[in-house]
Amino acid sequence: MWARLREIWRYRELIRNLVVSELKTRYKNSVFGFFWSLLNPLGMMLVFTFVFGFLTPNVQIERYPLFLLTGLLPWNYFSASVQGGLHSVVANSNLVKKVYFPRGVLPIATVLSQLINFLLAFIVLFGALLIFQRQFSPWLWTLPFVILIQTVFTIGVALTLSTLNVFYRDTAMIMDVVMLGWFFLTPVFYSAGILPNSVTIAGITFDPQRLLYIVNPMASLINIYRDLLYWGYRTDIDFFVRTAITALLVFGFGFWFFVRYSERFGEEL
């Protein structure tokens, strides 16, 4: 595994070129170009604010646009990376069959290109922070580590799904439904505090709030983002460490799974 990671590092120039190429292709012939990285989250924020801030008066969250944006940006980064990474190997089948290179650079480059969009979108977020005059957390310096943890987790998911998609093309259709359900099970446009403390199903009683953070790493990550950016205080260290360990485990499995079956990509494609 370490040898494969070192090999990918040696091909870092290829990753850079793929990232640049993907960004150029995405915004080719676009009037606003890279400004869509700013306009897209801003537009989604306005839509969700109108629907859940005005049309549903039962939702009472202070400075709701800012609350929404701190959850929406990380989710958009994750969702776009997963959907793009899933198709990364199949979409480059001609390249995979003709030229040797570590195949892992394909989903990794896709995630990193979305990371650039994510970082650009932070301009909108910090502009909103200044407008709404939120108090900045003294632990804001840990934000790059949070972004790194999410990137590691996302790459692990993208590696796993891109492998499955080579052998089972139904993966893309299944993930359309999974990502929709995942979105609603992640506190992006609502607070996890609205969930009940106890629910009984089929005679089994559990705490939905606690279970949400245990089984859904994206819920944990968005909670950390909100602690730093919206609430203005540091997150619990134990919570932070558990989320980081989960991300590393997902990455480790995804990389192992991808490497194990990558030699068969050529014949399958």
Which residue stretches of 92-168 are H helix? Answer: 93-98, 105-132, 143-167
**One digit per residue, pLDDT tens: the chain, 269 residues?**
778 888 888 888 988 998 888 877 776 666 556 666 677 777 777 777 777 666 665 456 777 778 888 898 999 999 999 999 999 999 888 888 888 888 889 999 999 999 998 988 888 788 878 877 667 778 888 899 999 999 999 999 999 999 999 999 899 999 999 999 999 999 988 887 777 777 777 777 777 778 888 889 999 999 999 888 888 776 678 788 899 999 999 999 999 999 999 888 888 87
Q: Determine the pLDDT at residue 234.
A: 66
Alpha-carbon torsion (226, 212, 238, 73), positive or negative: negative
Tell me the β-bridge partners of 201: 204
Residues in the chain: 269
Instruction: Produce one character per residue of 52-76: b if its CB has 16 or more CB atoms within 10 Å, e if not.
Output: bbeeeeeeebeebbbbbbbbbbbbb
Class of residue 6 by CB neighbours under 10 A (exposed 0-12, middle 13-18, buried 19+): exposed
Between CA 159 and CA 171 the distance in angstroms is 13
pTM: 0.89
Q: Determine the pLDDT at residue 23.
A: 77
Residue ranges per structural domain of the chain:
2-268
H/E stretch holding 207 reads none
Which residue stretches of the chain are H helix? Answer: 2-10, 12-26, 36-50, 64-91, 93-98, 105-132, 143-167, 170-184, 208-215, 217-226, 237-262, 265-268
Q: How many CB atoms lie within 10 A of CB 221?
A: 26
Say if residues 103 and 110 touch (Cβ distance below 8 Å).
Answer: no
Single-letter amino acid code for the residue at 233: Y
Q: Determine the pLDDT at residue 239.
A: 80
Tell me the β-bridge partners of 204: 201
Q: Determine the pLDDT at residue 175.
A: 94
| 3-class DSSP state of 264 | coil
Say if residues 27 and 114 touch (Cβ distance below 8 Å).
Answer: no
Tokens of 30: 């676009």
Say if residues 15 and 108 touch (Cβ distance below 8 Å).
Answer: yes
